Amino acid sequence: MSIFKNVNNNKNIIFSLAKQNFKNRYLGSQLGILWAFIQPTIMIGIYWFVFEVGFKSLPVNDYPFLLWFIAGIIPWFYFSEAVSSATTCIIENTHLVKKIVFPIFILPVISICSSLFVHLFFIIVTLFLFLGLGYGADLYYLQITYYLVFMLVMVSALAYITSALMIFLKDTGQIVAMILQFGFWLTPIIWTIDMLPQKYEVFIKLNPMFYIVDGYRDSFINKVWFWEKPFLTFYNLVILILLIFIGAWIFKRLKPHFADLL
């Protein structure tokens, strides 16, 4: 609760520093912050070309492969970027950590909010793509808010774990990058879970990112509310609560030693 209060009390500072952090990432480059939008767009284009043009991927659930794919890839882009940047946020802000009056608890949140700007942009683009191709708006689109908040809280909990461990174990960044690589291919983003034998489905569903990716597609494509999957929702809420407690406990235990090791 102290972390939540700290974040809430410093929300104005977080928003201001998040904007500054977002601008600083691309400072000095010719295109500036446009790179934040160009890189994911190029990646989407490459995957679309390989799978729809090259492998002749068929429509999924009567939706063009491109729409089905975008609905699943945009939450992963945000998750991957937010976790990666938040993992190194303390090391990259050593000057702030050593200031006694600065609330260190907000550093991971700043990185997460900085990555959120691009994600919100792609959510809006996705909405316009669906509308532009003749798929009318409905109430299910509002469900994106639930899955987005779920992902924000989960990424924050993970960030408190990885950013704190990074101070003591410098290999944490490489380990996180490797897990994200495996996670991308183990999450049904460019493939459907129906392709697997049924006995393996339960293991894929243990991954919380399956819940989020599937949730985005439920909102855009499948038209299924999250409460219509009670067991999957309950399991992921339990995992989320555990991650919050573990992240807060690790960060608070290791925080007093940050300044000494940086």
Range with the largest mean pLDDT of 33-47, 55-69, 75-89, 91-105? 75-89
Q: Region 237-248: what's the mean pLDDT? A: 94
What is the CA 252 to chain-centroid distance, rounded?
Answer: 23
pLDDT of res. 32:
66
Identify the band that residue 262 occupies on the pLDDT scale cut at 50, 70 and 90. low
Q: What is the mean pLDDT of the chain?
A: 87
Other residues' Cβ atoms within 10 Å of the Cβ of residue 193: 14
Q: Which residues contact 55 (CB under 8 A, 6 or more apart)?
A: none
pLDDT of res. 154:
96
Residue 100 has pLDDT above 70, yes or no: no
pTM (two decimals): 0.90
Residue ranges covered by each domain of the chain: 2-261
Model pLDDT for residues 52-61, shown as the tens digit of each residue: 777 777 778 7
Residue 21 has pLDDT above 90, yes or no: no
Q: Are 147 and 215 in contact (CB under 8 A)?
A: yes
Q: Give the chain's radius of gyration (CA, Å).
A: 19
Model pLDDT for residues 140-192, shown as the tens digit of each residue: 999 999 999 999 999 999 999 999 999 988 899 999 999 999 999 999 998 88
C-alpha closest to that of 205 among 191, 218, 188, 224: 188
pLDDT of res. 30:
62
pLDDT of res. 179:
94
Quick one: what percent of the chain has pLDDT higher than 90? 48
